[in-house]
Homo-oligomer: A and B are copies of this chain.
Amino acid sequence: MLIVMSHNATTADIDAVVRTVNEMGLTAAPIPGRERTAIGVLGNQGYVDDSKILELTGVQQVIHVSKPYKLVSRDFHPANTIVDVRGVRVGQGCRPVVVAGPCAVESEEQIVKTALFVKQAGADMLRGGAFKPRTGPHTFQGLREEGLKLLAVAGRESGLPIVTEVMSPDSVGLVSEYADLLQVGARNMQNFDLLRELGRIRKPVLLKRGMSATVEEFLAAAEYILAEGNDQVILCERGIRTYETATRNTLDLAIVPLIKEMSHLPIMVDPSHATGKRSLVPPMALAALMGGAQGVLVEVHPEPEKALSDGPQSLTFPGFGNLMEEVRRLTGFLGYV
């Protein structure tokens, strides 16, 4: 930690800062400069709460060197984590995976038909929402437990592992009976009670980035899960909220290689929610894989024009079939077999 004093700070101000730092059990090392003095702080084991220091007269700024996470950091855990989703391995060195399925489970026919199709086209896992977070209360909120049961049927018939969202701590038990990979949606990235609960189960978690979460907050959210003992976490970039409304969100693809430097956890990309527009999904899915993503989540629906949610961003069966062709060629080009 570094404390920057203001231009006009007095010797007494500097002394008071040094004293306070020492009282916190840390060591203060003043660095006098021509324009101002800075004070280095040594001896902290992790993140230090800076409030007491920011209070003092003459303090202009406190700069943190340590981060609010540690377990997820590559700095402290250099080896890549490979997440195993019922036999499908996700992470550095593994062939990138494709998770496909409808936004919401709507009926047995819809989900089974989709599962069989995406399996045959080459998908690795089946996604589908049973609990759906929606902006307003007057729209379709998902089939809930009934939806989970339909997912289980589709999983059995297709042999694909199941990915589905869990929205509250008290439904973690229920959802983990059916799901192979439990998804935390963007709106819940900082639902800390939910994260802690997921840290206590023995199933992998897919953590989506919050709509306006920084990379640091994203990693700190994953830290909640690891801190409770579950290190089987896959991160997922799904677009962030910016001033630009030409796409549903802004796909922040550059964090893929960045997170691979910062963390040992695998990272996937969801081009469907990121763009919100069917025609943009295939180019962005392929760009994501080329940029190093360890998998993509793609929405597919047998009849997108009749979907109860997110129809405009869902691929049709032929559209998904074409994308899988290209994904296969690309993963071959990238050296995976």
Contacts and interface: CB of A to CB of B under 8 A. Distances in A.
Contact of A246 (B53, B76, B216, B223): B216
Contacts of A148: none
Interface string A240-264: 1111111100111111111001000
Interface of A: 2, 4, 6-8, 20, 29, 31-36, 38, 40, 42-47, 49-56, 61, 63, 65-66, 68-70, 75-76, 133-141, 167-170, 187-188, 190-193, 196, 211-212, 214-217, 220, 223-224, 227, 240-247, 250-258, 261, 271, 274-275, 277, 279-280, 283-284, 286-292, 304-312, 329-330, 333
A44 B274 CA distance: 29
Q: Which 4 A-B pairs have the closest CB atoms?
A: A51-B311, A55-B305, A68-B136, A287-B291
18 contacts: A2-B40, A33-B40, A34-B43, A47-B138, A51-B306, A55-B304, A55-B312, A133-B192, A135-B217, A137-B224, A137-B227, A168-B169, A214-B246, A242-B252, A250-B252, A258-B277, A283-B290, A329-B333
Given A55-B304, A258-B247, A223 B137 contact: yes
Copies of this chain in the oligomer: 4
B75 A243 contact: no
A66 B20 CA distance: 25
A326 to B, nearest CB: 10
Nearest to A326: B290
Contacts of A69: 136
A52 B258 contact: no
Contacts of A140: 49
A236 B69 CA distance: 30
A212 B283 CA distance: 24
A212 B189 CA distance: 13
B244 A214 contact: yes
